[in-house]
């Protein structure tokens, strides 16, 4: 299995676009600030300037973001980016499609006789707003199976942790 840095490099531009659009829904930001946000959100991946700035230009040319020049206190100018309504709409559509995708994956994971290890991902997802929406949208039978499988996975993890603590 490849390491997480290689994954982010391959996912590259599309993933980076989403992180940038999401970050700009929180507040306008300049390029260096966006680099720091990406690094924080991805757990350490910091794209190069040669990847970021052409991507910002592409997002701007597509109408998803806009920019304006601001002068800092020392008289230096910097470009600040902010999301447009078109960018917000794109992000909302991506979120909707991703929830649909997660629903499909949930069906696959829940169809197994034994809890699939991927259910652990869904357990983590349930603590997010998207996960709570996904859970609400499941029919009661699927919701019960998911929650029972989540409990089994958590019990297995707790047992493993207790065993490890007992070895110390």
Closest CA to 56 of 6, 94, 16: 16
Q: Give me the residues of the chain with pLDDT under 50, please.
A: 1
- Output DSSP code: residue 84: -
Tell me, what's the pLDDT at 22? 92
What pLDDT is recorded for position 96? 81
Q: Where are the beta strands (DSSP E) in the chain?
A: 29-30, 65-71, 77-83
pLDDT value of position 81: 98
Q: What is the pLDDT of residue 1?
A: 42
Q: Encoding tokens for residue 67?
A: 């920019």
List the alpha helices (DSSP H) in 62-139. Answer: 85-110, 119-125, 129-137
Whole-angstrom distance, CA of residue 27 vs CA of residue 4: 27
Q: What is the pLDDT of residue 114?
A: 60
User: What's this model's pTM, rounded to 2 decimal places?
Assistant: 0.61
Q: What is the pLDDT of residues 40-80, one digit of tens each?
A: 887 787 888 888 999 999 999 999 999 999 988 788 899 99
At 10 the pLDDT is 59
Give the sign of the dihedral formed by CA 38, CA 12, CA 95, CA 27: positive
Place of tokens 């110390």: 168
**Is 30:13 a contact under the CB 8 Å cutoff?**
no
């Amino acid at each position: 299995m490849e390491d997480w840095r290689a994954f982010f490099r391959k996912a590259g531009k599309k993933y980076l676009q989403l992180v940038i659009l999401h970050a700009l829904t929180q507040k306008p930001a300049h390029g260096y600030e966006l680099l720091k946000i990406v690094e924080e959100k991805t757990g350490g991946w910091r794209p190069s300037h040669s990847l970021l700035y052409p991507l910002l230009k592409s997002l701007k040319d597509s109408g998803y973001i806009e920019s304006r020049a601001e002068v800092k206190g020392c008289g230096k100018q910097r470009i600040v980016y902010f999301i447009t309504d078109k960018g917000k709409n794109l992000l909302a559509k991506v979120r909707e499609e991703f929830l649909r995708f997660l629903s499909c994956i949930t069906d696959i994971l829940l169809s197994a006789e034994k809890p699939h290890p991927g259910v652990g991902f869904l357990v983590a997802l349930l603590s997010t707003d998207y996960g709570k929406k996904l859970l609400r949208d499941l029919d009661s039978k699927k919701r019960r199976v998911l929650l029972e499988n989540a409990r089994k996975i958590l019990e297995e993890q707790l047992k493993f942790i207790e065993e490890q603590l007992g070895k110390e």
